Amino acid sequence: MKSLPTNVTIIEVGPRDGLQNEKNFVSTDRKVNFIKKLTSAGIKEMEITSFVSPKWVPQMQDATEIVASNPELTRKLVLAPNQKGVERALEAGCDAIAVFVGVSNSFNKKNINKSTKQSLEELKPIITKLKEKNLFVRACISTAFYCPFEGKIKENDTIALCKEFASSGVDELSVADTIGMATPIESYSLFSSLIECLPDILLTAHFHDTRKMALSNIYAALQAGIHRFDTSAGGLGGCPFAPGATGNVATEDVVYMLERMGIRTGIDLDALVEAINVVSPSLTRRIETGYYQLATN
Ligand code: HMG
Ligand code: MG
C-alpha cells in the first residue's frame, strides 16, 4: 500500500457526463453558468461538453456554444467520439480532447456503433494528429471492470487496451467503472497494475456510484497510488447507452471525504453547493446538499 497523497486533482465531469443523461434539455445559459460557478469553486480541470451526434445525445447539441461561452477556461476539455467530433471541437476552439472506447465490444457498439478494434484503429491516427498540434489528449476507457452486456471484464483486457492508448501517445487515461459494479479489491488491483506498467502517464479513476461503492473504490485507488479522480457535482450522470449507469460519484462527497482526511483538493465546498444550485431547478431529481451547508456553517 502506497502512502496517501497530500493533494489530489478533481476532474469535474458534471457538465458532460452529469448532464448527458438528463431527459429535459438544460438551457445553454444555465450550463454556462454552472461551468462558471464550478470554476469559481476551484475546479481546474473539467469536461465541459461533448461533440457527439445530437441525434444520439440531444442534451449535448449546444457543444459549440458552450465552448464559445467559456473563453476564460485554461483548458477546454471536451469529449469527441470520431473524426467529425474532433473537427467540430477544434473549430469551436477546444485545446483538449477526450476520446472514449469500451473494453467491452458489446458496449462499444451500443455507445459508438463500432467494435472496440474499429474504434482503436480509427482513433490512433486522430490521436497522432492531435499530439502533432500539441493538444492535450485523454482517453476514457469504459467498462474497465464490468459491462452491462458481457458481465465481468478481465483485468488483462483492460490493461491491454490502456497500453494501446498509452502507446498511441495520449497524455491521460481515465479508467471507468461505467455501471458502478467494481469493489475496492478490484479497484486496488487494477490501479496498482496500471501504475506499475504505465508509470509515465496520467492515470485517473472514474467511478459511477450505482451501488454506493464509489467512495470505497476511490479510497482503494488512493492506496494504489492514484491521485486524479473524475467526479460530478451533485452526483449527476450516467451513460445513456449503458443500462444501470446511474450518477457519477458526487464531487461534494469526494471533496468532503478527502478534505476531512487532510488531503487537499483546492475546492471550496460552499461554492460547489452554489454551483449545484444553479442546475438543480432544471433537473427531474432532487439533489440533497443541505448537510454540507450544515457541516460548513
Ligand atoms: P453513427 O450513426 O454510426 O454515425 O453514430 P455515422 O458516422 O454513420 O454518421 C451518421 C450521422 O451522424 C451523419 O449525419 C454524421 O455526419 C453525423 P447525417 O449524414 O445523417 O446528417 N455524425 C455526427 N454529428 C455530430 N457530431 C459527431 C458526429 N459523428 C457523426 N461527432 C456516433 C456514431 C459516434 C456519432 C454516435 O454513436 C454517437 O454520437 N455516440 C456518442 C454516444 C455518447 O455520447 N455516449 C456517452 C459518452 S461516453 C460515456 O459517458 C462514458 C464515460 O463517461 C466513461 C464511463 O463512464 O464509462 C466517458
Ligand atoms: Mg461516465
81 ligand 1 Cβ < 6 A: yes
pLDDT tens for residues 86-141?
Answer: 999 999 999 999 999 999 999 999 999 999 999 999 999 999 999 999 999 999 99
Q: Which of 12, 48, 49, 53 to mutate to test the pocket of ligand 1 (most atoms within 8 A of CB)?
A: 53
Average pLDDT over the chain reads: 95
Find how far residue 253's CA is from the centre of its chain: 16
Q: Sign (positive/negative) of CA torsion 124, 128, 133, 136?
A: positive
pLDDT tens for residues 35-50?
Answer: 999 999 999 999 999 9
Active site residue 94: no
- For the CA of 107, the nearest ligand: 1
pLDDT score of 296 more than 60: no
> What is residue 293's predicted lDDT score, i.e. its pLDDT?
65
Residue nearest to atom 2 of ligand 1 (CA): 113
Which CATH number describes the domain made up of 9-296? Answer: 3.20.20.70
Query: What cell numbers appear for 37 in the block?
Result: 460557478
Q: What atom of ligand 1 comes closest to residue 102's alpha carbon?
A: 57
Residue nearest to atom 12 of ligand 1 (CA): 53
DSSP H helix total and E strand total for the chain: 12, 10
pLDDT score of 297 more than 70: no
**Every domain of the chain and the residues it spans:** 9-296
Q: What atom of ligand 1 comes closest to residue 230's alpha carbon?
A: 53
> Would you place residue 2 in the very low, low, confident or very high pLDDT band (cuts 50, 70, 90)?
confident
Task: Provide the whole-model pTM.
Answer: 0.97
> What is residue 290's predicted lDDT score, i.e. its pLDDT?
75
